[in-house]
Amino acid sequence: HNFTVMAGYQEENNDYSYMKNSITGLYSTSNPNVGMGTGDKTVVDTRNGWATRGFFGRVNYDYDGRYLLELNGRYDGSSRFAKGNRWGFFPSASLGWNITREQFMMPIADVVSNLKLRASYGLLGNQAGAALYTFAATMDLNDKLGNYIFSDGRHIFTKAPAVVNPNTTWEKVESKNIGLDFGFFGNSLTGSFDVFQRDTKDMLGPTVDFPDFFGADAPKTNNARMRNRGWELVLSYRGKIGKDIDYSIGGSLSDATAEVTEYEGTRTNPKDNWYKGKKAGEIWGYRADGLIQTQAEADEYNNTYDLSFISGKPWTPGDVKYRDLNGDKKINNGLNTLDDMGDMTVIGNTTPRYQYTINGSISWKGVTVSAMFQGVAKRDWDPGTGAYFWGSGPYAQVTVFKEHLDYWSETNTGAY
C-alpha cells in the first residue's frame, strides 16, 4: 500500500490603475506640456481589480502498482461574483488498473509489456468569462470630451449603468475520460487510446432580449451548456538497426466536436447567436446552384426570383444562382429567426476534424535527424468579405494578383 497526500493554499490579486491627462490649445507643439495649454482639459482616473483564493488537496493511493486511485478537491473563491455566489467546490477522481501486473498476464509478458486501463472524472471552475463586477452597477467615465457643447464648453460624461445580475456564479466544466495505454515487445510498440466528454455547465451567455424601450442590454446569466466529445489515438514504434542506428516513427489522430446542449436565450439571428443544438464553428449561407452562363438564363432567374434582399442589381452571366429552399420565390433570410431563416442554412463548419501528426527520427552515433508533419483532414473555410479573396474593393492591390485573373468570362465559364 502506498499513500501520498498533498494540500495547499493559493491566492491571487490583481490591481489596475490608469490616469490620463490631456489638454488642447498648446502654446507650442515642440513643448507638449499639459500646463501650457489654453483649451479643454480632461483628467480621467480608472481603477479596478480582482482576486481569487483557493484551497486544494490531493490523495494518491496504489496497491502493488496494480490498482491506482487519485482524489482531488478544490474550494475556490472569486471576487467577480456576489458574496453568496463567490465560492465553489470542484472535485475530481481517477482510477487505473495496471493489467500487466496481474498473474494471468505473466505467460504473455514477453509480448504484452504494458496494458493499463484508466478512467477519470473531474469538475473545474471557470470565472474568466465573467465581468469584474457582475453584481454591481458601475458607471464608466468617458475618457474624451463629449460632442455636446454647453455654455461653459464640453465635458466628460458618465455612461449609463448597465443592468446587473447578482446571481451569476462559476462556470463548471465537467470532464469524463476513459483511456487505454498499451505496449508490446518490450515497449518497442506503444500507444494509447482515449475517449472523452467535456460538459461546460452554467456558461455565461446573453439572456432573452429585453424590449427596445427598456433602454439597456440584458445582463449575462448562467444559462447555457456546451458539450465537447472526441477521441485520440497515439502510436509509436522504436527500433534499432545494428549497434549504432536507432530509429522511431509515430503518429496521432484525433477528432472532437462541440455543441450547445442548453440555452435559454434569444432565437433571433442564429447565424451569429447561440441556440440549443448549435454546432461550434457553423457557417451559415445560401446553397449555390451553379453559375449563370447566358443572358437568357440570367433573365429567367431574375424574372423568377426576388433577389432584392441580396442586391438591388439584376443577376448577369457569371453570377451564382442561389437555391430557393423554402419555395417562396424570394432569396432572403426570412424573419432571421431559428424557426424562419428563409433560404439561409448551415453550409459548412470551421471546426478542424481529424487532426493528425506523423513524426520520426533516426540517430547514428549521437547525430539525430527528426521530422514532423501535421495537418487537418477536413475543415470548411469561410472567406468572409475579405477584399483580397474576392478581388474586389477600392484598392488596387486587391486586383493585381494572378489568382484574381481567374474570373468568369465567355471563354472561362468555369471560374468565378
Identity of residue 44: V
Q: Categorize the per-residue pLDDT at 395 as very low, low, confident or very high, splitting at 50, 70 and 90.
A: low
Q: Categorize the per-residue pLDDT at 394 as very low, low, confident or very high, splitting at 50, 70 and 90.
A: low
- Comparing 143-147, 296-300, 322-326, the range with the smallest average pLDDT is 143-147
Strands 189-206 and 141-145: unpaired
The per-type count for the chain, helices as H runs and strands as E runs, is 2, 17
Q: Which residue has the higher pLDDT, 396 or 351?
A: 351
What DSSP letter does each residue of 225-290 carry, written as one string?
A: EEEEEEEEEEEEEEEEETTTEEEEEEEEEEEEEEEEEEE-S--B-TTTS--TTPBTTEEEEEPEEE
Burial class (CB in 10 A: 0-12, 13-18, 19+), 398: middle
Query: How far is residue 244's CA from residue 397's CA, in Å, rounded to a whole number?
Result: 56
| 301-313 residue pLDDT tens | 999 999 999 999 9
- Of 42-51, 152-161, 206-215, where does the model show the most confidence? 42-51
pTM for this model (two decimals): 0.81
Beta bridge partners, 368, equal: 363
Please give the pLDDT value at position 87.
Answer: 95
Please give the pLDDT value at position 401.
Answer: 76
- Grid cell digits, residue 351: 471546426
Percent of the residues in the chain that have a pLDDT greater than 90, as a whole number: 62
The answer for residues whose C-beta is within 8 angstroms of residue 391's C-beta and 6 or more apart is 398, 399, 401, 403, 404, 407
Please give the pLDDT value at position 217.
Answer: 72
Question: 350 — phi, psi (to 5°)?
Answer: -85, 0
Element (H, E) at 299: helix 295-304
The b/e string for 96-106 (b: 16+ C-beta within 10 A; e otherwise) is bebbbbeeeee
| 268-283 residue pLDDT tens | 889 988 899 999 999 9
Please give the pLDDT value at position 97.
Answer: 96
Contact 292, 321 (CB under 8 A): yes
Please give the pLDDT value at position 32.
Answer: 78
Please give the pLDDT value at position 122.
Answer: 96
- Domain map of the chain by residue range? 2-26+36-281+351-382, 387-415
Query: In 10 A of CB 135, how many CB atoms?
Result: 19
Strands 344-349 and 220-241: unpaired
Max distance between CA atoms of the chain, in angstroms, equals: 97
- Of 29-38, 116-125, 404-413, where does the model show the most confidence? 116-125
Please give the pLDDT value at position 292.
Answer: 96
Q: In this model, does residue 135 exceed pLDDT 90? A: no
